[in-house]
Amino acid sequence: MFVIEEVKDENQKKAVVAEVLKDLPEWFGIPESTQAYIEGTTTLQVWTAYQESDLTGFVSLSYSSEDCAEIDCLGVKKLIKVEKLGANCLLL
């Protein structure tokens, strides 16, 4: 079972995004771009997914209005992808 939580603390946002993106070098292999995603999360809404106490993924959202959000970045650790967590996050 997955637990979804919103992250409010800027340092925690950066830490969880960094942990997930470092597990995905095939998609986030350019260090400068990866760092830009990590630093950019401080101004975005970030939701994390945990399985038991293990971080499994995140989604960061930017808002263009009160009623409209866009996915800035979504990452799911490799070993979790088989459980379709990324697809399920989009259903929130």
Percent of the chain with pLDDT over 90: 70
Residues 89 and 77: beta-carbon distance below 8 Å: no
Distance CA 70, CA 82 (A): 25
Residue 2: the pLDDT is 83
CATH number at residue 10: 3.40.630.30
- In this prediction, residues 75-81 reach a mean pLDDT of 80
> Does residue 46 have a pLDDT over 80?
yes
Top pLDDT among 48 and 89 is at 48
Burial 13-51 (b: 16+ CB within 10 A, else e): bbebbbebbebeeeebeeeeebeebbebbeebbbbbbeb
Q: Which domain holds residue 68?
A: 2-89
Domain count, the chain: 1
Average pLDDT over residues 43-68: 94
